[in-house]
Amino acid sequence: MVKKNSGGNSHKGGSKAGKVMKYLIKADLKVNGNVQRKDIIGAIMGQTEGLLGDDLELRKLQRTARIGHVDVEMDSKGGKITGMILIPSSMDNVETAIIASSLETIDRIGPCQAKITVSEIQDVRSTKVNAVIDRAKSLLLEMVNSGDAATKTVIEEVRSVLTVGTATNYHGLTCGPNIESSDSLIIVEGRNDVRNLLNFGIKNAISADGAGNIKQELIDLANGKENVILAIDGDRGGEMLFRQLSETLKVDFVAQAPVGQEWELLPQKTATKCLSQKSDAKKFAAKLSADEPEVVDKDAWLEGMEPEEAPADVQEYFDHIADLKKNNAVFVKVDGTLTDPVGAAKIAAAAEEVDDVVAMVFNGPVSDRILEIASEAAIETVVGTKEGKGFEAREGVKAWLSEKHA
């Protein structure tokens, strides 16, 4: 396809040639015969002349730079012409639309039949703004992941135009939408930590769901990343989480919140500074060892721990227990919605029928049978009131009890 810029008397009015174009008219062209580019330009200028009055006469609009060069892209094949007409405009949207519609009145070019159809009126400024936003998002993530934005205020400026991602679910773990596509991964302790980072436009964070059993899916995800940052709270619990995860999965860097502070409550500047000043995981481990020279017996401190605190999403599930009749259950789906309550006799059938379930909430003691139903239906989380008949931990199912964990 040959392209050339042409346009009536557009060489005149040079003093106004710098006027910013707002819109670009794009029109498809079909001619039943062979014509030249000058014939097409002549038809556009000639057949629209007088149609819309003096104020919208194309030649005059070009002289005042309200209409730019008329560009024609054309291709000749089989004795016919196809192509596209491009006309930039600095007029408002109403006037531009009128000019565009006038092109469709042209039915002949020279001796040949022709058809012109406007395919689009592109907002040039909007296109540029979208390009700026997309590039700014990319630069922002690069800055956060590389740690170069500690003293910058540009993140706050850019964040005002970012569409903050919503939290999603990865095998039952709350996360940002970019955890699989990003080369870097930020592991945090809880669900609210992920949400706080999402507020800052950081979309590659995932919750470890606190202490306890670390999911194999999280281990596999972390081990496949170029860089893994563990963001821990500035307390003893955060350091304990580091010890556990560093023995289980890949951790390259550690970003610790200031002493006594938690990631879910950090303001943006503090969170960004902590990420930018992240420590090498080996150096962080050495520092912990220097601070605590005595060897810690892992089994000993686990035995002396208080009952494990339920993560934020499970705390929300506890609230649903009060809405249920005794020995009734509801199922929580991936999108956070709840199914209709079912009685004890129908729980097994309902568990098999409902798709995308992440948790079962049961108003009653969690028995071995309840855990068996959850296991068979691949439901990873069960929430109940207390331990029931034959209660025993099962592979792949985590039970949370309101009397112990709420």
Give the model confidence (pLDDT) of 174-189 as tens digits.
Answer: 999 989 988 999 999 8
Nearest-CA neighbor of 307 among 389, 373, 401? 401
Angle of the 191-199 helix axis to the 268-276 helix axis, nearest 10: 100
What is the reported pLDDT for 19? Answer: 62
* pLDDT given for residue 9 in this prediction: 43
3-state secondary structure (DSSP) of residue 300: helix
Q: What's the pLDDT at 8?
A: 45
Q: Which amino acid is at 375?
A: S
Q: What's the whole-number mean pLDDT along residues 257-270?
A: 89
Three-state secondary-structure class, residue 104: coil
Q: Is 300:229 a contact under the CB 8 Å cutoff?
A: no
Say what percent of the chain tops pLDDT 70: 84
| CATH class in words for 312-405 | alpha beta
The tokens describing 235, both together, are 């307390």
The whole-number pLDDT of residue 7 equals 44
Report DSSP state, residue 54. G
Q: What is the 3-state secondary structure (H, E, C) of 157-203?
A: HHHCCCCCCCCEEECCEEECCCCCCCCEEEEECCHHHHHHHHHCCCC
Tens of pLDDT, residues 53-112? 888 888 888 888 888 888 899 888 888 899 999 999 988 889 999 999 999 999 898 889
Q: pLDDT value at position 160?
A: 44
Residue 359: which of 309, 318, 304 has the closest Cα? 318
* Beta strands at 381-384 and 398-401: parallel, antiparallel or unpaired: parallel
Task: Enumerate the CATH 3.40.1360.10 domain ranges in the chain, comma separated.
Answer: 147-303
Residue 249's DSSP bridge partners are none
CATH class of 147-303: alpha beta
Are 248 and 220 in contact by the 8 Å Cβ rule? The answer is no
Checking if the pLDDT of 25 tops 90, the result is yes
Q: What's the N-to-C CA distance of the chain in angstroms? A: 70
CA 280 centroid distance within chain: 28
Architecture in CATH of 2-123: 2-Layer Sandwich (3.30)
Q: What is the pLDDT of residues 269-305, one digit of tens each?
A: 889 889 988 999 999 888 887 665 444 454 544 444 5
Radius of gyration of the chain (CA): 32
Please state, in angstroms and as integers, the Cα–Cα distance from residue 25 to each residue in 42, 88, 118, 146, following that order: 18, 6, 7, 42
**361 has which bridge partners?**
330, 383
pTM, entire model: 0.36
Domain with CATH 3.40.140 in the chain: 312-405
Residues of the chain with CATH 3.30.70: 2-123
Does 158 have pLDDT greater than 60? no
